[in-house]
Amino acid sequence: MNRKSEKTALIRVNGKGSAAIDEAVANAIALWADASSDSESLRRGDLVRVKTKTIEAFFAFAGKAASEVMPMDVKAWREEMEARGLKLATIYCRLSFLSSFYEWMMRDPELGEHIRKNPVNLARPKAPKPYQTESSKALSDEQLERLRAVIRSRADLGEVAAVRDYALFLFFAISGMRRAEVLNLDGKDLEFREDGIVVTCKVKGGDYIGRLISRPEARAALIEYLRASNRMDALEKGGPLWVRHDRGAEAVKEERTLSAWGFVLRMKEYAKEAGIGRFHVHQLRHTFARIAGESSGSLVETQEALGHKNLATTRVYMQRIPVKRDKFGAEVAKRLKL
């Protein structure tokens, strides 16, 4: 279904003379998607497109004007997505987009006269527990190394995209940063120092923090990628740190930011080659949390490393409680002359 026919499903005369309102709703989708997306994100264009397609897909499914939609229509859409095998988190996200769209319309003086209730409120399921699925558990040390080796071997073949992916992999694995935090990096967000790279990024909640990545391997991998792609000037002039190197980007001869979905697909390919089933990029953050907990023996230190405001969130990431290190037992035994 093309964009014009998708919108035709929204601009529908319902016998009550509301065609003009429904046309306004069709136009409102674009306005809502634009207004509700972070203006500072380098992936803003991707997010706007996803939001727009999600809302258009719902109305194409429901076959009703916005003012006619009932909770049962939302429930039917939800069940249709479940039948197609979509993950609960994906379904919940799409329903949240739809709910946000209705809330946005209800606040509009003109649309609010016709949209009095949010039909998603009675049909949305409980939010799925964060990252509790099998695919989001931490990787073992062996799995992590196999994944690294696969990406490195592809990079050694001279494939620029694989060189990029190796640098990205190390940034994720070594820093424990969230997907958006890494993929949204601009060249000017990095400060090179003797003790490593200071990365300044916008984190969940809207705050900006600086994070030191001290491992020389991450620095070397990044420089290798920027040189391979002839983009060393990105560190001085700014611009997206990670860009596409596929045929589509080459065809238009234009530098395009790497999308989260594009990177996820490539990582799934690497994981499959490494013998890791049902891989998700967020597993790298879980793996960082596991290693941080095992190394420090402290839930609080792990919380700080992950940047969580709530300790309960950190517990979700830990498959077992960290074991506190015995730092002072030897000294006590010495003084007891044991």
pLDDT at 324: 73
Helix then strand then coil, % of the chain, to nearest 5: 60, 5, 35
Q: What is the pLDDT of residues 249-294, one digit of tens each?
A: 665 567 788 988 889 999 999 999 999 988 989 899 999 988 888 8
209: Cα within 13 Å, side-chain hemisphere = 18
Q: Which CATH architecture has domain 134-317?
A: Orthogonal Bundle (1.10)
Q: What is the mean pLDDT of the chain?
A: 83
Please measure the distance between the N-terminal and C-terminal CA atoms of the chain and give it in whole angstroms.
Answer: 79
Domains in the chain: boundaries: 3-113, 134-317
Q: Which has the minimum average pLDDT: 48-57, 191-200, 250-259, 291-300?
A: 250-259
Q: What is the DSSP string of 219-235?
A: HHHHHHHHHHTT-TTHH
130 falls in which pLDDT band (50, 70, 90)?
A: low
Q: How many Å apart are CA 274 and CA 151, to the nearest integer?
A: 9
> Is pLDDT at 111 greater than 90 in this prediction?
no
| pLDDT given for residue 197 in this prediction | 92
Average pLDDT value for residue range 213-233 = 94
Mean pLDDT of 92-120: 88
Q: C-alpha angle with apex 212: 325 to 280, nearest 5 degrees? A: 75
Over the stretch 316-328, which tens digit does the pLDDT of each residue have? 777 666 777 777 7
For the stretch 238-251, pLDDT in tens is 889 999 998 766 65
Quote the CA–CA distance of 306 and 300 in Å, as a whole number: 10
Instruction: Name every residue whose Cβ is closer than 8 Å to that of residue 76 and which is 6 or more positions away in sequence.
Output: 61, 62
Name the band, by pLDDT with cuts 50, 70 and 90, for residue 296.
confident
Over range 217-243, report the average pLDDT: 93
